[in-house]
A and B are shown apart, each in its own frame.
Chain A
Amino acid sequence: MTVTEPRAGIVQPVTLAPAREMSAIEPDLRQLAPNEGMRIDGLHAFYGSFKALNDVTLQVRPRSVTAFIGPSGCGKSTLLRSLNRMHERVPGARIQGTVELDGVDIYGPAINPVRVRRVIGMVFQKPNPFPAMSIYDNVVAGLRLSGTRNRHVLDEAVERSLTRAALWSEVKDKLRQPGTSLSGGQQQRLCIARTIAVEPEVILMDEPCSALDPRATLRIEELITELRAAFTIVIVTHNMQQAARVSDETAFFTMGDDRAGYLVEMAPTTTLFTNPTQPLTEDYVSGRFG
């Protein structure tokens, strides 16, 4: 299905992913209860005295793919990293506001960031398998951290995770080889496998395909739409078409005059791309800027 913008001189074909039809679960776009999924309320993010994000309020639907799109530098990655408390690892970085998962504030005083990152996983822009570990060890790295030692349990987890990451058949005979011996696309699927091995609730993806070639990108996108059934996925992407292909809901951000990013509009993906309410959104999705 192709939708073309009826504007003179600007034709931006937006292709909705055929993969969506493969998915067993149709996006359930009913109104969310406040303690469902991830709820972000009045979030401001700072690096020292520099404000990177301004007053973001949105809700991430569970068991779906939410995309954050917008021009570079508008704080999408900062927002994503605030969702698993990675943002605070930068010296001087802090947030104001609330981030909740299933009604629980992940920044609460009793909550350990280590636990948060276990429950909310992350896949990074550049595939980063641990070079000193084999493929097997990479996948079970997270499980070993929580003390799992039983060989059978680990073996099962490796097969399960690599299968779900669509990598098992390619590596099942070379599990002992270093994680870095794979191609870029395979490495990223390995990183996805190790992330899902610890069974998080949410998977955050920070431009996961930007370092990959188009074929690898497509495979990952297919993977994302499959994983949607079991995980809540938030993906930051600078590629609008990708957002249109894989996500159920999309949030569009841009940079304000104070150089802080802010949320312009969030809507079900089809709506955002064909019928945005904000003029800025319309300009962006029709390719006028960004």
Chain B
Amino acid sequence: MATDATQLAGPSGTGGARLLEPPNGQERGRLRRDRLIPAVTVLATVVTISPLIAIIAFVMVKGLPTLDGQLIANAAGNPTAPGALNAIVGSLQMVPLALLIGGGLGLLAGIYLSEFAGSRTRQLFGFLVDVLLGVPSIIAGLLVYSTLVAANGSSAFAGSVALSVVMFPVMMRATEEVLRLVPTSIREASLALGISGWRTVVSIVLRAARAGLLTGTMLAFARGFGETAPLLFTAKGSDALNIGDLGSTMSALPLFVYQYSRLPDRFFVAQAWSAAIVLLAIVLAINVAVRARSVNTRVE
């Protein structure tokens, strides 16, 4: 059996010879580059991931010492032992309200796009939603400031409205995409059974899509929970523990972090770090809960 290139027979015999030729400089360079590139991409990946680790680590290191009962149980207005309860409670009021308004509208709008709109309409609205998604959140705050706040003064309600401006296109796009994944056959079957149009959508289609809708809602909530800019001039923040009075200023967790981070007093800066832990934990927990499940079910 000839394995030596010089002994090859056959009409040309050059195939084996070409295979056995040692690589020339050019080919060696190609192979070197081919080995180098994956390393470069891995490096880029490490560089991208490290800020996440760095942020979580430093927030923990800086914030854990002051993360105590005082922070969580007391409002900032407490003269002897100020905390961030007003901020926590404020977020827990404004964000759900914003979800109701903006998320609710977005849900309905998404239903229209998915269930009733023709393809040209859907294209037009798709364009519209893309544009809205690109609008900076401070502009949403600016809009509400120029209207609601100019008329009635700063209020938690204005803050919620500003947040809902941000959440509306998010929810509208998420709803449309999730509902489009529901197979047409489900709708057809329902209609064939004589179930009327709107009941089909509500009882059948929405039900079939409920997992995806829940995901979208939770992610929209997490997004609204972490937003600061829309609240800066609408709800403005407040040291007082405000429960229920949506007509007055109210604090929120991101506002607390922002405002306290700029104070000269080191204790308050430390509290900003601690509040950041709470904020980060909540937002990341929601994201992990929602996305981790889809990591396993995702079809790649």
Direct contact of A and B (CB under 8 A): yes
Check A115 for interface membership: any CB of B closer than 8 A.
yes
Across-interface contacts of B27 in A (CB, < 8 A): 114-115, 146
In the complex, chain A residues whose CB is within 8 Å of the CB of B104: none
Contact status A111-B10, CB under 8 Å = no
Range, interface on chain B = 20 to 34
Interface 0/1 of A112-136, CB less than 8 Å to B: 1011101110000000000000000
Contacts of B26 in A (CB 8 A): 146-147
Contact across chains for B18 and A119 when beta carbons are under 8 A apart: yes
Docked-complex contact A103 and B8, CB < 8 angstroms? yes
- Report yes or no: B31 in contact with A102, Cβ–Cβ below 8 A: no
Cα(A140)–Cα(B9), bound, Å: 30
Nearest opposing residue in chain B for A34, CB measure? B1
Instruction: Find out whether the CB atom of B17 lies under 8 angstroms from the CB atom of A102.
Output: yes
A111 with B19: CB separation less than 8 A: yes
Please encode chain B, from 50 to 86, with 1 for each CB lying within 8 Å of some chain A CB and 0 for all others.
0000000000000000000000000000000000000
Decide: B1 and A103 in contact? CB cutoff 8 A.
yes
Out of A102, A112, A116, which one reaches B10, CB within 8 Å?
A102
Known A-B contacts A103-B8, A112-B31; A35 and B15 likewise in contact (beta carbons under 8 Å): no
Is A202 interfacial (CB 8 A cutoff)? yes
In this assembly, does A282 line the interface, its C-beta being within 8 Å of a C-beta of chain B?
no
> Which of B1, B7, B12 is in CB contact (< 8 Å) with A62?
B12
Question: Size band of the A side of the interface?
Answer: 20 to 34
Bound CA–CA A36/B9 (angstroms): 6
Tell yes or no: B14 within 8 A of A by CB. yes
Which residue of the partner chain B has the closest CB to A200? B15
Bound form: Cα–Cα A39–B99 in Å: 69
Asked whether B3 is an interface residue with its Cβ less than 8 Å from the other chain, the reply is yes
Contact of A106 among B1, B13, B19, B21 (CB under 8 A): B19
Shortest beta-carbon distance, B4 to chain A, in Å? 9
Cβ-defined contact, B1 with A35, below 8 A: yes
Taking the nearest CB of chain A, how far is it from the CB of B25, in angstroms? 9
Chain B 128-151 residues near chain A, CB threshold 8 A: none
Contact of B247 with A by CB under 8 A? no
Tell me which residues across on chain B come within 8 A of A112, comparing CB atoms.
23, 31
Contact of A104 among B3, B9, B12 (CB under 8 A): B3
Q: A34-B1, A103-B2, A119-B18 are in contact. Are A201 and B12 (CB under 8 A)?
A: yes
Q: Complex: how many Å from CA A35 to CA B14?
A: 12
The secondary-structure label for the interface of chain B is helix
Cβ–Cβ contact A62 & B19, under 8 A: no
Query: CB-CB < 8 A to B263: which residues of A?
Result: none
B1 contacts A104, C-beta separation under 8 Å: no
Known: A35-B9, A36-B11. A101 touches B23 (CB 8 A): no
Q: How far is the CB of B14 from chain A (nearest CB, A)?
A: 7
Tell me whether A202 and B2 are in contact (CB under 8 A).
Answer: no
What CA separation (Å) do A201 and B23 show in the bound complex? 18
Closest to A32 in B: B10
Complex CA distance for A37 and B14, rounded to whole angstroms: 10
Contact residues in A for B3 (Cβ distance below 8 Å): 103-105
Q: Closest Cβ of chain B: how far from A229's Cβ, in Å? A: 11
Q: Is A189 among interface residues, defined by CB-CB distance under 8 A?
A: no
* Cα distance, A252 to B138, chains bound together (Å): 70
In chain B, residues 163-214, which have Cβ atoms closer than 8 Å to a Cβ of chain A? none
Does B11 lie within 8 Å of A63, measured CB to CB? yes
Most buried by A among B9, B13, B15, B27: B15
- Please name all residues of chain A whose beta carbon is closer than 8 Å to the beta carbon of B1 when the two chains form the complex: 34-35, 103
Name the one of A103, A110, A114 contacting B16, with C-beta atoms under 8 angstroms. Answer: A103
Rounded to whole Å, the gap between the CB of A150 and the closest CB of chain B is: 14
A19 CB, min distance to chain B CBs, angstroms = 22
* Chain B, Cβ-Cβ closest to A102: B16
Encoded as 1 (CB less than 8 Å from any B CB) or 0, chain A from 24 to 39 comes to 0000000001111100
**Complex formed: what's the CA distance from A106 to B11 in Å?**
19
In the complex, what's the smallest C-beta–C-beta distance from B27 to chain A, in angstroms?
A: 7
Do A62 and B31 have beta carbons less than 8 Å apart? no
Residue among A103, A110, A115, A118 facing the most chain B CB atoms (10 A cut-off):
A103
A83 to chain B, nearest CB (A): 12
Q: Please pick, from B7, B9, B11, B19, the residue contacting A101 in the complex, using a CB distance under 8 A.
A: B19
Q: Which residues of B approach A to under 8 Å, CB–CB?
A: 1-3, 5, 7-21, 23, 26-27, 30-31
11 contacts between A and B (CB under 8 A): A37-B10, A62-B10, A101-B15, A102-B15, A103-B9, A104-B3, A104-B8, A111-B19, A112-B23, A116-B19, A120-B15
Q: Which 10 A-B pairs have the closest CB atoms?
A: A102-B16, A201-B15, A104-B16, A36-B10, A147-B26, A103-B2, A102-B15, A101-B15, A35-B2, A104-B19
